[in-house]
Amino acid sequence: MKHLVPEFEKLRERFPAGFESSLALPCLRRIQEDRGYVADSDIEELAVFLGVPQIQIEEVLSFYTQFRRKPIGRWHLQFCHNVSCSMNGAENVLAHVERRLGIKPGQTTPDGRYTLSTVECLGSCGTAPMMMVNDGYHENLTLAKLDELLQGLK
């Protein structure tokens, strides 16, 4: 985490004084972006840097779905399976990807390329079905579109 401290200091300037604790989420997001996950050492260092109890950082990491404590595949495919997506064929597209990759949600392909997850509504219901690949949204999915997309994810 240490090399990110200058960035964190900049971030701090945007917040009013006394908001150190608030930096927990943005700093953790940044650490995860940098390392791919949040390591144990990051937790201790961040707690010290922000002057917050370490347990607060641990709680935050386990409360929010986007944080992870372990590395995952290079491409994280997250399929929405909430109502509107389900009503527009989410089950089909998910089943298709499961077949193609040979994994179930929660698993990573042995070559470490793909991790598959299901998630709740991501606010793309009008362009359902949808999935997130890493940070990007892919909407109005069809089987053909999916195949093409997977081709591009090396």
Partner 1 sequence: MPGRQLIMTFPVTATSHALPEYRARGGYGALAKALGQMKPQDVVKEITASGLQGRGGAAFAVGRKWQVVQYDDGQPHYLIANADEGEPGTFKDRWILENNPHMLLESMLIASYALNVRNCFVYIRGEFDLPYRRLAEAVEEAYAAGLFGRNILGSDFSCDIVVYRGAGAYVAGEASGLISSLEGKKGYPRNRPPRLTVKGLYQRPTVVNNVESLSNIAWIINHGADAFKAVGTPKSPGTRLFSVSGHINRPGVYEVELGYPWMKFLDEDCGGIPHGRGIKCVVPGGVSSKVLTGADIANLKISHEELWDAGSTLGSGGMIVIAEGTCMVALLQVLMRFYHHESCGQCTPCRHGTGWLHRILDRIVAGDGRADDIERLYYISKFNDGTTICGLGDAAGYACSGILDKFRDEFEYCIEHKRSKFGGNLECLRSS
Partner 2 sequence: MPEIFINGQAIEARDDQTVMEVAREHGHFIPYFCWHPQLSVVGNCRMCLVEVEGRGLDIACNMPVAKGMQVFTNSEEVQAHRKAILQFITLNHPVDCGICDKAGECVLQDYHYEYSGQRSLSHDEKVRSTKFYNLSNRILLDNERCILCLRCTRFTHEVSKSMALGVERRGDVSNIRPVEDRPLSEDPYSDNIIDICPVGALLSRQFLHKSRVWFLQPTPSVCPGCARGCTVQIWHRKPEWKLKALDQRQNENIARVTPLDNPAVNGPWICNKGRDLAQMFERVRADEPMLKGRPVTVPAALDEARRLIGAARHPVALVSNWGSNEELETFKDKLGEVFHCFVKQDWQRQPGERIEDDLLIRGDKNPNTTRARELFGHAEPDFKDGTDLVLVWGEGFDFARLPPRAGIIFLNSYLQPENGHADVFLPVSIQTERHGHYTNFEGTISAFEPCFEKKPGVLHAEDLIKALAAPARGHP
Binding site for ligand FES (CB under 6 A): 80, 82-85, 121-125, 128, 130
> Which residue, 58 or 139, is less far from partner 2 as judged by CB?
58
Which position among 39, 125, 143, 149 is part of the footprint of partner 1 (CB under 8 A)? 125
Structure tokens at 59: 């709680």
Q: Angle 74-75-77 (CA atoms, 0-180°, nearest 5)? A: 150
| Residue 40 C-beta: closest distance to partner 2, Å | 7
CA–CA gap between residue 44 and residue 65 (Å, rounded): 21
Selection from partner 2, partner 1, ligand FES, none that 31 binds (CB < 5 to 8 A by kind) is none
> Which residue, 92 or 107, is less far from partner 1 as judged by CB?
92
Between the two ends of the chain, the Cα-to-Cα distance in Å is 28
For 31-52, the DSSP string reads: HHHHHSS--HHHHHHHHHHHT-
127 binds partner 1 (CB under 8 A): yes
Selection from partner 1, ligand FES, partner 2, none that 54 binds (CB < 5 to 8 A by kind) is partner 2
Report whether the peptide linkage leading into residue 105 is cis, meaning its omega lies within 30 degrees of zero.
no
Structure tokens at 71: 């590395």
Neighbour tally for 96: CB within 10 Å:
17
CA–CA gap between residue 71 and residue 38 (Å, rounded): 8
| Residue 48 C-beta: closest distance to partner 2, Å | 13
* Residues binding partner 1 (CB under 8 A): 14-16, 18-19, 21-26, 28-29, 50, 52, 56, 59-60, 63-67, 81-84, 86-89, 91-92, 119-128, 132, 135-137, 142
